[in-house]
Amino acid sequence: MTPLISEMVKLASEPELMQWFDASGLPPNQTVDLDVVNITPLPFDKCAVAGVQGDAKWLILLTQVDDVVSYVGWTLHQNYYTKHPAFTYIRTAEGIKLYPIDEDERKKWSTDDVRGVLAGVGAWLKALSPDSLAYKPTARKSLINSKRAAKGKGPILFDWHTVHIEPAKPKCDYRGGTHASPRLHDRRGHWRKYPSGKVGRVKNCKVGDASRGVVFKDYKVKT
């Protein structure tokens, strides 16, 4: 777990429902690339992305339902914070469509404001690649987590370790042996190239055996 995510995860009411990304390595002053946002689905249906801008830190929460994505975010300064425009964007064949979540808030921001924060989303989506670093949180065995589980609540204490999202390795001939089903985990949405040469989008899904445990993930984006 990176120090940035360790700090930001405390701000979310249900952090275990999100997939966490540390985007502090992204270069500043990204150009607005709405085409990237429009053609690229989120890797997971619920994503939390944290980053750094000068002396401030920012956190955005994204929730995806099919082609509709809601955006809420904050920039945290040393003694205060500012709230980003809250809006929904829809990916369409004609381009991205923007809608305010709250009509009263709509009067406080302009289209340029939204394009500015979407630039960060576009830079993050563009930077997601096989050479990214990922962080897997697993629920820690503790008394407080056990009590929360008994009440039907999610864990609040996690153990983390770092893995690398690497390019797919060539398939090898079968040499016998068995492979036990892994623990239940989220597989992120990704692009897949088929033998025919066509490229298709594979949706995120859950895979593995829940009886063996559950693995949570967050990610570190490298440029």
C-alpha R_g of the chain: 19
Q: What is the pLDDT of residue 175?
A: 47
Residue 153 to residues 9, 148, 174, Cα–Cα distance (Å): 17, 5, 43
pLDDT tens profile 147-164: 888 888 777 766 766 655
Q: Quick one: what percent of the chain has pLDDT higher than 90?
A: 13
H or E stretch at 210? strand 209-215
Taking the C-alpha atoms of residue 55 and residue 88, their distance in angstroms, rounded to an integer, is 28
Residue with token string 């305010």: 100
- Higher pLDDT: 70 or 9? It is 70
pLDDT tens profile 161-176: 665 545 444 444 444 5
Q: Is 48 helix (H, G, I), strand (E, B) or coil?
A: strand
Q: What is the pLDDT of residue 189?
A: 72
Q: Is 147 helix (H, G, I), strand (E, B) or coil?
A: helix
Taking the C-alpha atoms of residue 213 and residue 185, their distance in angstroms, rounded to an integer, is 9
User: For 110-114, 202-206, 219-223, which range has the lowest pLDDT when averaged over its residues?
Assistant: 219-223
Q: What is the pLDDT of residue 63?
A: 95
Q: What is the pLDDT of residue 105?
A: 67
**How many residues appear in the chain?**
223
Q: What is the pLDDT of residue 67?
A: 92
- Judged against a pLDDT cut of 70, whether residue 136 lies above it is answered with no
Taking the C-alpha atoms of residue 64 and residue 35, their distance in angstroms, rounded to an integer, is 17
pLDDT tens profile 58-113: 999 999 999 999 999 999 998 899 888 889 999 998 888 888 887 776 676 777 77
Q: What is the pLDDT of residue 183?
A: 67
- Judged against a pLDDT cut of 70, whether residue 10 lies above it is answered with yes
Across the chain, mean pLDDT equals 76
- Judged against a pLDDT cut of 80, whether residue 42 lies above it is answered with yes
Banded model confidence at residue 210, pLDDT cuts 50, 70, 90: low
- Judged against a pLDDT cut of 60, whether residue 130 lies above it is answered with no
Q: Quick one: what percent of the chain has pLDDT higher than 70?
A: 67
**36-45, 163-172, 204-213 — which one is most confidently predicted on average?**
36-45
Report yes or no: 138 and 184 within 8 Å, Cβ to Cβ. Answer: no
